[in-house]
Amino acid sequence: MGEEKTKLFKRLKKIEGQIKGLQKMIHQDRSCEEIITQLSSISGALKGVGMMIIKIYLKECLQKGKSIEEIEREFQKIIKRFIVNL
């Protein structure tokens, strides 16, 4: 596994821990402010992971020798999906 993918999996594990922490906070009836802060942190981390995945995917497209036009079409498709889901 490449170094970038290793970093990606480490980030995903960290996010998994944050989500478990959020579940625990809700179960413990922690304050709304604390829960929203944790949720915001998770959301930001997921956006970062999304950008990492896009970067890895585009790099793989370039390594496969696709034309600039093909890469641009794929990039536009990915960005539309990513932005719609923000």
Mean pLDDT by 10 residues, the chain (86 residues): 86 96 96 96 92 82 78 80 67
Residues 6 or more apart whose CB falls under 8 angstroms from that of 86 comprise: 47
Whole-number pLDDT of residue 78? 79
| CATH number reported for the structural domain that contains residue 71 in this entry | 1.20.58.1000
Number of domains in the chain: 1
Our CA angle for 66, 70, 71, nearest 5°, is: 75
Are 26 and 13 in contact by the 8 Å Cβ rule? The answer is no
Identify the pLDDT of residue 71: 79
> Could you list the residue range(s) of the whole structural domain that residue 57 is in?
3-84
